[in-house]
Structure 1
């Protein structure tokens, strides 16, 4: 049974995070190459905006903000699952190669498979999932030992190796195709939010509507997996079954996110750590906070990136890396 004080603290933190997300959304809608005064946002949403205001808000900024928010939530939850399943605080879908696997699948699909533009949007998450799943299976196989089970340190090192190898594959693909397609892949690698339109939201949203409640339902199983294997078995947990199911959920969350945002790392690393430092290690309390923190971090990174260098800006993935890389080094030295 959870302590009432912890539940009350979680509610307060969630209210604070929702307020921070709302403030960042307002700033993101207002700031940009064509700025809109904050006092004009509400009239525009109520149907009293000018043509220019409506076009900027509803066709450009609002879909991008929603995509960024949803993708950050997915990456944060994926990172939390990976850290629990592998019992490794450094696990992150971007660091251990899952994002790279999704990226290679997207690149191959984009370059070599002709498909109608309308279908392309909805096929991207599925293609990314297939690539990420294949990569995750290979990483898992190379990290697993029959004598000692899953090796957390080996998993991170194997994942980093796969990430580097797959980055090399991306370079080979880039060097063998025409210029306009190279621009797309380079933009994806930098973590540029490219899927900033309403159809991409409808393509991403069903994955989150299914996987977020499913993971919250499995929170107690994730608590058990965070323990040592003998203790988890003693509690009656089917370790391999739960591990595989949760890994599939983590891969699907990461793949669906990066299929529309590009290769973004460190959000899945930072958000779970910040959540657990605020509320403790129990996943029933930490996962909802991690989801909100991840959404806010990526939204903040994109808002900063869009407004630092106008009009093109800095990709959100680069801003997230500038924040996350020092945090990764801190954790590496600490752990």
Structure 2
């Protein structure tokens, strides 16, 4: 039996197993489950290069450990809901919305709890993509553009840690919580509502609090907004269609979060800003510093090996 046949059979078995597990237990969106399926998929498509599996584990498992620790540490940023900041976000959003809070205005004009529309399902899909798109892209990079993988992961980790530090220093209410507490008119959480209506099972509760996947007062900045913006910057040099695609995704995620009651507009803007800072730090500042520290006698040799500052895109 040829390697091609073995690889094809293994990929079919992988997809069948993923479908069966998803149907039986729900979408595998919890970090450890998601990473298990990603690493298994990478192993399946790398059967002929099985010697790379060790490197794969060395490069992915520390990342998983860091993110699991991050998920649990977010509980340390939690404070009673009423003590979390909200007035500055409301003030900025009202200024941006011409006196209206954009979330309240959007839900008043577009949302009908008794009748879900196509765009309600659309924001559910967009919101859900946050939990796996960033890691699927990482897996593709690891497989087909491994020299970009390290920088990509560095940006993801940096923006995530920047967000965690902000959550700890500035716990902030999302719009739906501000509505519950009477700071603004009532706001619906549209994504969980759509989820309940569709009846799609999930193997992890994405709306847990404390040490779960979501912290009620970890709203500023929005990592949901930061990750798409990071992808847009990372693939910016790949061409117009890449920019159009990732720009559309970034804007769609921003709209989904504001309309869905998950984030204020200022949370989105700050998430984009954090993505820009993290990208610039990893792709511009650090290579520039290393280049400046090259000894004059070594500059000729190292210049040919150095990667251009800011070149973080995947070239296929």
TM-score range, shorter chain: under 0.3
What is the TM-score of this pair, normalised by structure 1?
Answer: 0.25
What is the TM-score of this pair, normalised by structure 2?
Answer: 0.27
Answer 1 or 2: which has greater helix percent.
Answer: 1
Query: Relative contact order, CA 8 A, sep 6+: which one is greater?
Result: 1
